[in-house]
Chains A and B, each alone.
Chain A
Amino acid sequence: DIQMTQSPSSLSASVGDRVAITCRTSQVISSYLNWYQQKPGKAPQLLIYGGTSLQTGVPSRFSGSGGGTDFTLIINNLQPEDSATYYCQQSYSAPRFTFGPGTKVEIK
């Protein structure tokens, strides 16, 4: 099975900051990496698919980069509504999938 790690596990940043969250996989997955945002009590929301493609309706301050085993989610100009937990997910091993452990983003 493909193992996934995320760093940091949590972070605190100010409105307007640039935030980076890293996801690493235990084997090469090309660009089959997706990112989700989850707010408390709500279902996750797809932000980025295929490593770099922005899901329709997601603000352009969110972007994804990377490939192989190392991926990054960038949030530019952090907003109060971005307070959430962010998960990466690999679809390379479809039809079996894996989520990362999550990164909690708090606003100072």
Chain B
Amino acid sequence: QAQLVQSGAEVKKPGASVKVSCKASGYTFSNSYIHWVRQAPRQGLEWMGLIDPRGGSTSHAQKFQGRIAMTRDTSTSTVYMDLYSLRSEDTAVYYCARSNILDGFDIWGQGTTVTVS
């Protein structure tokens, strides 16, 4: 069955960068977009950006301009999200999720906790 498996928890200092991975399996990797969504403690869901695994094109929310990069490795069906210049407000659980562009996010990773302290 289709699934997304994310890398483990990270603890980073302010100003550092973090790289979170999301490995897809059980479906054709290039057929669906991969999104990144985060959730700060006791807060709601925040869409961060997406990558099209076919060509690697990306789109992101304006608030992350200059601080986010998303890449993919088609040989391992893995997507990566880099977040730079971390600050305490970036402490959150980061999720990857799959979708076709206008449909809902039907498969989610288990989440990766990033703590900035």
Give the interface of A toward B (CB within 8 A).
Answer: 1, 32, 34-36, 38, 43-46, 48-50, 55, 87, 89, 91, 94-102
Instruction: Please give the residue numbers on chain B whose beta carbons come within 8 Å of chain A beta carbons, in ascending order.
Output: 33, 35, 37, 44-47, 50, 59, 61-62, 95, 97, 99, 101-106, 108-111
Q: Which of A50, A55, A87, A100 has a CB less than 8 Å from the CB of B106?
A: A55
Chain A residue nearest in CB terms to B60? A96
Whether the pair A95, B104 counts as a contact (CB closer than 8 A) is no
Say yes or no: B44 contacts A87, CB within 8 Å. Answer: yes
Cβ B45 vs Cβ A91 within 8 A: no
Verify B45–A46 contact, CB threshold 8 A: no
Residues in B with CB closer than 8 Å to A95 are 33, 50, 59, 101
Q: Which residues of B contact A100 (CB under 8 A)?
A: 44
The 3 closest A-B pairs by CB, nearest first: A34-B104, A49-B104, A95-B59
In the complex, the answer to whether B105 meets A34 with C-beta atoms within 8 Å is yes
B46 A91 Cβ-Cβ under 8 A: no
Q: Supply 16 further A-B pairs (C-beta < 8 A) apart from A1-B62, A32-B102, A99-B46.
A: A35-B104, A36-B104, A36-B105, A43-B111, A49-B103, A49-B104, A50-B102, A55-B104, A55-B106, A89-B104, A95-B33, A97-B35, A97-B50, A98-B47, A99-B37, A99-B45
Which residues from chain A contact B46 at a C-beta distance below 8 Å? 99
Q: Which residues of chain A are near B106, meaning CB under 8 Å?
A: 46, 49, 55
User: Considering residues A1, A49, A95, A100, which has the most beta carbons from chain B within 10 angstroms of its beta carbon?
Assistant: A95
- Shortest A69–chain B CB gap in Å is 18
